[in-house]
Structure 1
């Protein structure tokens, strides 16, 4: 089926003025290409489409913006919760975003709680030249964990649905936040991305909080840079949202914001026996050569692990090559 072009512009010069209206007017089975003009779109699009591309005028030029947060009230309930706070929901089959920004402006999580910029739940997600801005829980890479730890903790669009694998690829993107700002159970590669820790009142930050299902690949950060405005020695590379979390950093440039220990066990030493954390070829002031006290349960410059991660990177690049 031929891909349909749909134009959107906030100034009224296109077919639609919001992405929400543009998507609602389409056949969800039709392959779609939404082209968004420059400007700020104050909306919270919820997309459940078979195959769609969203193209903006440039990172920082086309901005999808909202400020919902987990501590906001929700009709009939005390709080919105994490998984109803997103600015943009990507569901369906295949979602590609390029040349735009998605932000959640709720602010410091100490005040507003978790606040997603993107809830990425499509079977395949590809982002190229996209910036995602937030504080706590900026990017959720579905699926959810199998079991909830806190009552009603998964309130949202996928609370009672099967936990289906997703495959996600981020290339030349910028992702900012502080507390667990890249999290979830996806198999995901972050390739040549800029990871930006944002200073906050709580000081300590965590980049990746994976909930990888047992035996799945998890997260790979490859050729990325970490540089933000957080204090030196205040940012962890990751911690396990669930016990089988897998996170690997390959050939990345790390600022002095990285805590020498590198990794956190989420206050549970038992996680150290089941997680798969590691890094290889790190450079910069936050690299292990300048920080010898890395956590002992994480692989460090292990050749076999590095080869496995390079194979994963090559497979994702090949799979998403036509899209990226």
Structure 2
């Protein structure tokens, strides 16, 4: 029955947003260059985003030259099909310093569908004082490649929609990947800064009818020894799966936390499949987490869980100049 339940949920998940899908533009893209030195089209990233027409129907590729961009960025909901691309995650940084309300403080807020980010560091320098979101993703069909997402608490607000993270580095201490999206994290590094009582995920699924959850496939977990759990339930039906993932001794032996609400132990879905490393030993795991079988894990081991074949797209191969 567990396998049937999972398969049914994932079939529904892959079709959740079909009615809102937009026609994918051609592979040609409008090129906009951001360069702080003044040699591009705009000096600021937000300036380049503002230049995109509302209800845009073309691919827009915003190429960001290396530098530290001290900006608070919003990609509005009426500007789909935008790509923000640096040249390397270590030399192109968007940073801000704000905390408090999780919807107001993010350094970068993605509100538009069909968004892509590549080779960027997205950082909130608020530190250990409280919630300081680096990246908020509140839109369907968003993908992130080779990005570094850095803060301390609630680093990534993976709010809603279908999302894909590939080869990203995500760092924090408390609930540093949180929200209620349906997301696949593939080949990512999750680094915990916590000295004790750290939490990687706080997934917010509130009912079994919500086709959401976080899947970590082939990832790597690092950090200080013994102080971090894999997740705790923000929502009563929180769903998180780790598969083929290396877990260092940063992960505590009991693995998961119920957020001091034992009633959620009956409704969460926390699974592990073929994970390895000193933190993957399940001999002392909480009994309400699951060691998945091959059949139970199968639906989570590819991009089908986010319907990726219908919306993940290659980098544009032909560009045309942006006309101001």
Give the structure-1-normalised TM-score.
0.83
Does the residue aligned with 1:21 lie in a helix, a strand or coil?
helix
What is residue 309 of structure 1 aligned with on the other side?
Answer: 300
Confirm whether residue 225 of structure 1 aligns to residue 255 of structure 2: no
Confirm whether residue 34 of structure 1 aligns to residue 62 of structure 2: yes
For these two proteins, the number of residue pairs brought into alignment is 283
1:60–1:316 CA distance, 2 compared to 1 (3 A): farther
What is residue 284 of structure 2 aligned with on the other side?
Answer: 293
Query: Which residue among 82, 86, 106 is the counterpart of 2:126?
Result: 106
1:21–1:207 CA distance, 2 compared to 1 (3 A): same
CA offsets per residue over residues 271-304 of structure 1, 9 Å max, x none?
Answer: 011110010101011012xx51111111114233
Query: Which residue among 46, 51, 64 is the counterpart of 2:94?
Result: 64
Does the residue aligned with 2:47 lie in a helix, a strand or coil?
helix
Task: Indicate the RMSD between aligned Cα atoms, in angstroms.
Answer: 1.7
Equivalent residues of 1:195, 1:225 under 8 A apart: yes
Equivalent residues of 1:222, 1:313 under 8 A apart: no
- Deviation, 1:198, is 1.1
CA distance in 2 between partners of 1:312 and 1:244 (Å)? 22
- Deviation, 1:308, is 2.5
- Deviation, 1:124, is 1.0
Does the residue aligned with 1:286 lie in a helix, a strand or coil?
helix
CA distance in 2 between partners of 1:167 and 1:315 (Å)? 6
1:61–1:320 CA distance, 2 compared to 1 (3 A): farther
- Deviation, 1:61, is 0.7
Unmatched 5+ residue regions in structure 2? 1-24, 316-324
Does the residue aligned with 2:48 lie in a helix, a strand or coil?
helix
Confirm whether residue 83 of structure 1 aligns to residue 103 of structure 2: yes
Does the residue aligned with 1:249 lie in a helix, a strand or coil?
strand
Aligned pairs for 1:113-132 within 5 A: 113-132=130-149
Equivalent residues of 2:247, 2:278 under 8 A apart: yes
1:14–1:312 CA distance, 2 compared to 1 (3 A): closer
After TM superposition, the runs of 4+ consecutive aligned structure 1 residues lying more than 4 A away are 311-317
CA offsets per residue over residues 130-164 of structure 1, 9 Å max, x none?
Answer: 11000000000113xxxxxxxxxxxxxxxxxxxxx
